[in-house]
Amino acid sequence: MVLRILRFVNRAYAFAAFAIYLVAFVIASICVFTFPLGALALVVLGVLSLAFVALGRDVLQALERWMSRGALRAGRCPACRMGPLDGAGSPRVWTCRGCAARFETDGSQMQAVAFEREADAEGDALRTA
């Protein structure tokens, strides 16, 4: 349950950070005409907080990888929490047979490339025909 929440937070983290910076930009744009010192303060705080936002992202991703490694060791898929996992294709890649998610041995999830998904869809169509 904690891993599922952490995965969601990691996926939404960049969008949330962007939304906060966008709101700060709108407020700073309004403050330029009404309270110029407020606009300057928001710009300075935005630049200084960028390091903490990046550090927070790195910490959250490290926690997710750590918890994913535990799930992989237990033979469960960190994405769907089912399994079974197949590591026969490559010694550095684990693939879930249930949801087809792929994980490296450090716990990070691999992104599917477009042509791989198309090839999988063609292979599924050939198998069902």
Residues 49-79 pLDDT 10s: 999 999 999 999 999 999 988 888 888 888 8
Confidence of residue 114 (pLDDT cuts 50, 70, 90): low
In the chain, the amino acid numbered 75 is G
pLDDT band at 4 (very low <50, low <70, confident <90, very high): confident
Share of the chain above pLDDT 70, in %: 82
Reduced to 3 states (helix: H, G, I; strand: E, B; else coil), residue 94 is: strand
3-state secondary structure of 112: coil
CA 42 to chain centre: 28
Check whether 46 has a pLDDT greater than 80: yes
pLDDT at residue 118 above 80? Answer: no
Per domain, the residue ranges of the chain are: 1-74, 77-129
| 25: Cα separation from own chain's centroid | 25
Q: Hunting for tokens 């998610």 — which residue is that?
A: 101
Give the pLDDT confidence score for residue 101 in this predicted structure. Answer: 82
Mean pLDDT of the chain: 81
Query: Where do we find the tokens 């490559």?
Result: 90
The verdict on pTM exceeding 0.75 is no
Q: Cβ neighbours of residue 69 under 8 Å, at least 6 residues apart?
A: 105, 106, 107
